[in-house]
Amino acid sequence: MSFRAENLAFAYGLHEATFSLPTTGLVAIAGPNGAGKSTLLGILAGLRSPYKGSCTYDGREVRQWSRKDMALQVGFVPQSVNIEFPFTAEEVVLMGRTVRTGGWYESEHDRSAAKQAMSITDTLAFRGRDYRSLSGGEARRVILAAALAQEPHTLLLDEPATHLDLRHQLDLHRLLARLAKTMLVVAVTHDLNLALQFADQVLILENGKKVGDGRPADVVTPTMIGGVFGVRATIQMAQGRPWVAYGAESL
Amino acid sequence: MTRAVKPAVWLSALFVIAVAVLTPLVGSTHIDLQRAFAGESPDHEIFFYARLPRVILGLLSGAALSVTGVLFQCMLRDPLAEPYTLGVSSGASVGAVFAICLGFHSTGIASLVGAGTVLLIVLGTAVDGRRLSSFTLLLTGVTMNSICFALILFLHSVASFTQSFAISRWLMGGLDAVEYSTLGWLAAIVLVVCVAAIALAPKWNLLSIGGEWAASRGVSTTALTLAGYVGGSVLTGIVTSLTGPIGFVGLIVPHALRLRLGADHRTLLPCSMFLGAAFLTLSDTLARTVIAPAEIPVGVLTALCGGPFFLWLLKSKRQSLW
């Protein structure tokens, strides 16, 4: 087990959630706006405290992990990162290495890890550009590369597909599925098709409560979508895969 | 984080050494170095007791102010932050103005007390349990500035004519020859804080992007913000107690260097330290020679020389979005 939560609650946005997550695999957290998804992800990342109840990572309470030890284990990709100062894309990615570098300057190994991370996120082409001049989608991929350069055992992502064009959304989903073979990837997402096709486990939150937890095919159903999101939906087969099709009108 | 950064650091170090060697030779009176080193009057006194301590004070103050500027801009994620944003220097000013109104001969200790008081008030207000948010720090500091400026205006309004003149002169800021023992203490504190700040440069990089960004990459953000605030405030408080408020150094040197060298604190901090020292010392050399034997307040010159240069830099680097 990696994360295990029991009666986990936060001052706002999350009540009494109990669940456990595997050490590898892709876990999708879905739910309407304000359901507590980002709060939950923040608690897992060790960034929201004090929480109530219990939330352990590798058997130890998240709040007892030191920042450094946690950063060696868990990479966090926030919804957006605004930067005030003129850092280049490559500098932002190399910052992911800081916790592993130890010294003042990066080693050759740090540089190759950063280059590798930039290569698989398709960001090498603008490595020298000022982060602030990047488009929304380019910036998202740079932030993802920074988390990958950290070489974590667990990756937490908050709506990683936001701002990405179609091709990069698909690339991202394939990348997450590939990473999930050897590590735990937890993604907050609004994309139920991503959850249905790529996830190994889906958590559904509504008004801060866990209302669904299990295999995607069991959780992502027309009944759940109608009940939680208030949207009429059907599951259809397209190109040999289940596909959520939404009705034109809400319920 | 490009490998081409190191030459910039060495070049700035060489530049500040050149400034340190050459500026004591410049002044309104011609002096003979051989006579100065032979202990012959008045060259000896002019060189060793008027110019040299003033140059050293300029180097140390310039280094302290621009390093503090970098740290405060980074911690607050606010490009407009400067050493005077967080209240400590206006606390020093209140102390000095109070001392002038009470008729004390020296303002040094009173302004240190003023700076220390503000530092403690800001910490007491902004630190909440074990947390310190940079936003609360900013609001507390700005509020303390307003309170201190009100106190200065009040004291100024009840001061006598001569006191009022002394207050105005103090508030203009300026470098003066001080005792070598004072310079020794100042040098020790400035060097310790600057070296510590430079050693933490990779962490400042993370913090300058954001609190959560830094926290999820292994940085204890509260401890680092606290260290930056206390370190920068100690430098600013001590420097202000010796020189009065000298504007612009802590704002413009870091920005000019970011435009040229980027935001990596491993380059930015050492270069700011060296070039801040050089900039203030050169400005002060101009201030004491241009209309000699009268002097221009050095804050006037830092703004008048630095401002147009910065505008030119902004225009020539417009593509970098500043």
Left, alpha or beta for B36 (phi > 0: left; psi -120 to 50: alpha)?
alpha
Instruction: Check CB contact under 8 Å for A98 and B263.
Output: no
Question: How many residues can be counted in chain B?
Answer: 322
* Residue A95: predicted pLDDT: 93
Instruction: Of B182, B186, B189, B176, give the one whose Cα is nearest residue B244.
Output: B176
Bridging pattern class, strands A14-20 and A25-30: unpaired
ipTM score assigned to the predicted complex: 0.91
* Residue B4: predicted pLDDT: 45
* pLDDT values of chain A reduced to their tens digit, one per residue, 251 residues: 699 999 999 988 889 899 999 999 999 999 999 899 999 999 999 998 889 999 999 999 999 999 999 999 999 999 889 998 999 999 999 999 998 887 788 889 999 999 999 999 999 999 999 999 999 899 999 999 999 999 999 999 999 988 889 998 988 998 999 999 999 999 999 989 888 989 999 999 999 999 999 999 999 999 999 999 999 999 988 888 888 998 766 55
Instruction: Check CB contact under 8 Å for A86 and B205.
Output: no
- Distance between CA A56 and CA A44 in Å, rounded? 9
Query: Could you tell me if A47 and B215 are in contact, meaning their C-beta atoms sit under 8 angstroms apart?
Result: yes
The number of CA neighbours under 13 Å toward the Cβ of B188 is: 5
pTM of the model: 0.91
Choose the closest CB to B218 out of A68, A82, A106.
A68
- Name the residue in chain A with its Cα closest to that of B212: A47
Asked which of B98-102, B130-134, B143-147 is least confident by mean pLDDT, the reply is: B130-134
* Residue B183: predicted pLDDT: 95
Choose the closest CB to B216 out of A71, A86, A91.
A71
DSSP state of B7: H
Instruction: Check CB contact under 8 Å for A47 and B212.
Output: yes
Per-residue pLDDT tens for B242-296?
999 998 899 999 998 998 889 999 999 999 999 999 999 999 999 999 887 888 8
Mutate which: A82, A84, A135, vs B, most B CBs within 10 A: A84
Residue B1 binned pLDDT confidence (cut-offs 50, 70, 90):
very low
* Residue B2: predicted pLDDT: 45
- Name the residue in chain A with its Cα closest to that of B261: A86
Instruction: Check CB contact under 8 Å for B218 and A98.
Output: yes
Instruction: Check CB contact under 8 Å for B79 and A87.
Output: no
Instruction: Of A51, A96, A103, give the one whose Cα is nearest residue A71.
Output: A96
Q: What is the residue-averaged pLDDT of chain B?
A: 89
Counts for chain A of helices (H) and strands (E), in that order: 10, 12
**Would you tell me which residues 76-115 of chain B have a C-beta closer than 8 angstroms to some C-beta of chain A?**
77-79
**Would you tell me which residues 43-72 of chain A have a C-beta closer than 8 angstroms to some C-beta of chain B?**
45-47, 67-68, 70-72
Q: Which long-range contacts (CB under 8 A, 24 or more apart) does B99-103 make?
A: B100/B159, B100/B163, B100/B166, B100/B167, B100/B170, B101/B155, B101/B158, B101/B159, B101/B163, B101/B167, B103/B163
Residue B176 has pLDDT above 90, yes or no: no
- With tokens 């074990």, the residue in question is B130
Residue B94 binned pLDDT confidence (cut-offs 50, 70, 90):
very high
**Would you tell me which residues 132-171 of chain A have a C-beta closer than 8 angstroms to some C-beta of chain B?**
132-133, 150
Bridging pattern class, strands A14-20 and A60-61: unpaired
